[in-house]
Amino acid sequence: MTAQVIDGRACARQLKEQLVGEVAAARADGVGIGLATLAVGEEYSAGAYQRRLRRLADELGVPYLHRALPATASEAEVLAEVELLDADPAVSGILVLRPLPPGIDEARVFRAIDPLKDVECVHPENAGLLALGVPRFVPSTAASVFHLLDTWLDSVGEDRAAFYHRANIVVVGRSNNVGKPAISLGYERQATVQSVDEWADRTTGIGRHTRWADVLVVAAGKAGLIKAEHVSEGAVVIDVGINPRTAPDGTVHMVGDVDADSVAPRVRAITPVPGGVGPVTDVWLLRTTVRAARLAAEARTPVEVP
């Protein structure tokens, strides 16, 4: 079996075409859109993500603001920056880039974000709505995983509902921004969902769980974790990993959590790294920023009393 490569760049282009229309419609309705990112310290993957978002925002004509603090910044300084972005009427979406330096309470920072500007769904209010199946926003990476799956199912003529109802989805990784939301989105599609993390790899062996997967979503942050012996024949593999690796000549490239060379011959379909989940994630975040702008505009509109 030779795996079909799920082309994230092609999927992102289609989504971007829709987003162009959404941005234009919002502007025509007088809705102001603006994305702000906040970085604390310098981390390669976060920096690469921020630069991609800036390019995409520029292409769409969406105002973009990036705030950068040194790794030595205090928690109070980070919270002060979030407060400024919360109060800025030109900003409709706020993204605090991970990871935050040790000593800064990530949960406290996320609680400080205005829930209506929380485009990554990290505020407890938004995370709770997602877990209850009534999301205000959906985290961009987890949303992109299922957008890619849905689009691929359409392309091969599979009925989405029938596929998910019989599918066993195994999610490797339990992060608040990818693993846990992906579990909720799997439940929403009425699939059987199993969650494992690095402890399974250290104890019972991760393959004991992953080999049962019809769909394997890998978001563990560990390069090459999943190899041929960890997957069943005919599975669909979505690799969320983005791990920087430095070549002998000093150039940096990204590799996934899946050893694609060994896995691809066994599975039905697989996403590449780069060019898989990442490009869709970028567009999805801007799409959510437009939705956040509309929700904010609706919240500001006075209700007419008859």
SS3 188: helix
- Top-confidence range, 11-25, 41-55, 288-302: 11-25
DSSP 8-state assignment for residue 305: P
pLDDT at 301 over 70: no
Spatial distance between the Cα atoms of 277 and 264, rounded to a whole number of angstroms: 16
| Host H or E run for residue 244 | strand 243-246
Task: List the domains of the chain with CATH numbers.
Answer: 32-120 (3.40.50.10860), 140-278 (3.40.50.720)
Spatial distance between the Cα atoms of 15 and 27, rounded to a whole number of angstroms: 19
pLDDT at 1 over 90: no
With bands split at pLDDT 50, 70 and 90, how would you rate the model's confidence at 241? very high
Spatial distance between the Cα atoms of 269 and 260, rounded to a whole number of angstroms: 11
In angstroms, the Cα distances linking 170 to 148, 192, 196, 268 are 16, 8, 7, 16
- pLDDT number for residue 282: 96
Would you say the pTM of this structure is higher than 0.85?
Answer: yes
With bands split at pLDDT 50, 70 and 90, how would you rate the model's confidence at 250? confident
CA dihedral 4, 8, 11, 12 (to 10 degrees): -170
- pLDDT number for residue 45: 84
SS3 234: coil
pLDDT at 202 over 90: no
Q: Average model confidence (pLDDT) for the chain?
A: 94
Q: Are 179 and 241 in contact (CB under 8 A)?
A: no
Rg of the chain, C-alpha, whole Å: 20
With bands split at pLDDT 50, 70 and 90, how would you rate the model's confidence at 170? very high
pLDDT tens across 283-294, in order? 999 999 999 999
Spatial distance between the Cα atoms of 302 and 77, rounded to a whole number of angstroms: 35
Section 205-215 average pLDDT = 94
228 CB neighbour count, 10 Å cutoff: 15
SS3 83: helix
Q: Are 170 and 164 in contact (CB under 8 A)?
A: no
- pLDDT number for residue 252: 85
Section 253-263 average pLDDT = 94
pLDDT tens across 6-19, in order? 999 999 999 999 99
Section 157-179 average pLDDT = 96
| Torsions phi, psi for 201 (to 5 deg) | -65, -35
The residue whose two tokens read 């939705």 is: 291
pLDDT at 185 over 70: yes
SS3 279: helix
SS3 1: coil
Spatial distance between the Cα atoms of 3 and 262, rounded to a whole number of angstroms: 11
- pLDDT number for residue 300: 77
- pLDDT number for residue 255: 93
Percent of the chain residues topping a pLDDT of 70: 97
pLDDT at 305 over 70: no
With bands split at pLDDT 50, 70 and 90, how would you rate the model's confidence at 125? very high
Pairing of the two strands 243-246 and 252-255: antiparallel
Question: 54-92 burial, b if ≥16 CB within 10 A, otherwise e?
Answer: eebbeebebebbbbebeeebebeebbebbeebbeeeebb
pLDDT at 132 over 60: yes
SS3 66: strand
